[in-house]
Amino acid sequence: MAKRPCTTQVDQPGKLFLYKQKSTLINDHASATQDRTKYDHDIKLHTDGLIKTIIKNSRELYSNLRDDFRANWGFNTVLIIIVFSYIGVFIGRFKLEYDKTKLEYEKGRLRAVFFHLGEEEQMNEKAKLEHEKAKREEKQMELDHVYKMMELSLRENFDPQRIKQILSNEQTPSSSK
């Protein structure tokens, strides 16, 4: 097979570069010559006309790819769905990671704020918590006592009016506190 001559010509260095580039995008299963030559482009790079060449070749490639897309719409639709699902998974994972780091940041900030509180304020917070806990325990003990008394009175005589009266009397003083 004979060697092809180089088509690169340089008239003046730095001013004009002219060469022909063949790029063939061939599908492995495409055997027809028409499919092979469809994507051949004559790319002429000039220092002045570079943008025009790119636009011309882009339009030609776009029209060829558009025709192929219309011919194989089923496969292309499945391919697009798969690509968008991967993009969606990526965005979802990114959002979850962002929320996780934001939550960790907030926790760290709250710890830092609590750590910087004075010892007196920390003691006041602890005292408030202990006081609330003692109130809850006292209220629970009172309710346990009331229910124990109700069980004893129910064994002796079953009087629904008396039970309602005891419950209403116990709830009224606790709500007035």
How much is the pLDDT for 58?
86
Q: How far apart are the first and last CA of the chain?
A: 106
Q: Which of 136, 137, 138, 146 is nearest to 171 (CA)?
A: 146
How much is the pLDDT for 34?
55
Of 16-20, 53-57, 119-123, 158-162, minimum mean pLDDT range = 16-20
13 pLDDT exceeds 60?
Answer: no
pLDDT band (50, 70, 90) for residue 86: very high
How much is the pLDDT for 41?
57
How much is the pLDDT for 33?
53
- Measured over the CA atoms of residue 13, residue 14, residue 19 and residue 23, the dihedral's sign is positive
pLDDT band (50, 70, 90) for residue 45: low
**In sequence order, what are the residues at sequence separation of 6 or more whose Cβ sits closer than 8 angstroms to the Cβ of residue 167?**
146
The H or E element that residue 121 is part of is helix 119-156
Phi, psi of 16 (to 5 degrees): -140, 125
35 pLDDT exceeds 80?
Answer: no
133 pLDDT exceeds 90?
Answer: yes
Phi, psi of 18 (to 5 degrees): -130, 120
pTM for the model: 0.27
